[in-house]
Structure 1
């Protein structure tokens, strides 16, 4: 189809459909919720920089003083736009396709971005990263695994071997994560979503992290996390299960 959006993603072997990254899952959920047709182009980590520079994508930061290119990135042939970074992609799709479901409506946009930059990053992403980064590396294809191994100390500020080494350290991280999810569930209350009856970008952020844990996490640890929020988040999980399909 001529106007099918292209999503650039990183392959792995955590699942049959190879999509595992919480960052790219944010964009997948957004595309599905909006009902926008898309296809996936898979890029191994060492190939991202050259491919994105060739596509005209903007860097999303710097590393060691050089421009940093990360995924997700989308290319929209309807406009020719190339957009990097999941939040910016969502903003673009909101503005370009106003007749689709709006995940970042103006009244709550600032609050949702604040939620991303504070609660999601500190209370959910940080403990999950420590718990999952080793398993994330191990499920990558060989070229990407070697690349990822080299950048882990830059992501964490320490070698992988010094992160969540002991059972006591992992238990503390799990308790922090479960407590944060339970606290968040208290905010959500009996509604299916954090925004009430209507799904929002805040829900996408949480769902993408849970997807990551379910795919690459230790099965017993994931079982504990899921059990802790299964009752309060049951309708949430059921809704997002409808947006898990990856087009071939």
Structure 2
């Protein structure tokens, strides 16, 4: 009589909480940054999809920490969030806030670093520039476009919460003028990256090798490509001698969605 072997335990896997669009499964720039790191470091993970109206309840149910707090002390729950049971299955790490997650993954999984030695401070400034300077003129363009491509429940959610601080999907600038403002920000960034030519390829922030700064920028490119492929990405891909298309191509191997 043959003896049936006991089933092997399922290996612990990192879980990434993401929010879906309708036309593309993943689109949020801050979440793309974490997905890039997981893929680049070759860490096994799975995705749990959570629509925006369900984010707070879902994250509270897994005891995720708030990503920030309002001035009145009220907790704010946003994605991404990761749950990592691989180091301690009985007490998995649950983290929110994109930068916190990035720092954690780099510290706990140092192989294939996204913060090469001595680069953390400059990369932090680079990413801050992308978030607070380069992306700012994109908002009046991309928020309305993105809104119309989200699930219906999510659209209704944003309409209902706009008074609490979520921007309404209404553009206050003529489209062509808004794109010109965006181009000026990309032109400036191209001039900065040109300083690496000779010592690097002029495409990536660290000269030759991809890093967190590149993933932060490429996440914005993917947001444009996925949500505005014809009006947006068709413009951006031609700017600065096709530089941004080249960056996207360099990041291509790390765009898997699990």
Instruction: Tell me if the contact between 1:61 and 1:67 (Cα under 8 Å) persists in the aligned partners.
Output: yes
Residues 55-97 of structure 1: CA distance to partner in whole angstroms, max 9, x if unpaired?
1211112347321000000001113101111211111111111
- Give 2:83's aligned residue: 75
Look up the match of 1:212.
Answer: 223
Residue of structure 2 in register with 1:232 after alignment: 243
Give the whole-Å Cα distance in 2 for the aligned partners of 1:218 and 1:35.
28
Q: Are 1:72 and 1:86, in contact at CA under 8 Å, matched by a contact in 2? A: yes
Residue 58 (structure 2) aligns with: 51
Instruction: Give unpaired runs (5+ residues) of structure 2.
Output: 1-9
Secondary structure of 2:254's aligned partner: coil
Contact 2:29 2:223 in 1 (8 A): yes
For 2:196 and 2:227, the matched residues in 1 are separated by: 26
- Distance of 2:69 and 2:224 partners within structure 1: 27
**Is the 8 Å Cα contact of residues 21 and 27 (structure 2) preserved in structure 1?**
yes
Q: Tell me, in whole angstroms, the C-alpha distance in 1 between the residues paired with 2:188 and 2:229.
A: 19
Deviations 1:108-147 (A, max 9, x none): 1122112222x11233221222220111111111111111
Corresponding residue of 1:90: 102
User: What residue in structure 2 maps to residue 14 of structure 1?
Assistant: 23
Counterpart for residue 214 of structure 2: 203
Bigger shift: 3-12 or 122-131? 122-131
Report the structure, 1 or 2, having the larger helix content. Answer: 1
The 2-side partners of 1:93 and 1:178 are apart by 29
- In structure 1, runs of 5+ residues without a counterpart are none
Q: Which has the larger radius of gyration?
A: 2
Are residues 1:109 and 2:128 paired? no
- 1:194 and 1:203 in contact (8 A); partners too: yes
Cα distance, 1:31–1:230 mapped onto 2, change above 3 Å = farther
Partner of residue 5, structure 2: none
Aligned counterpart, 1:186: 194
RMSD of aligned alpha carbons: 2.1
Identify the residue that residue 3 of structure 1 maps to in structure 2: 12
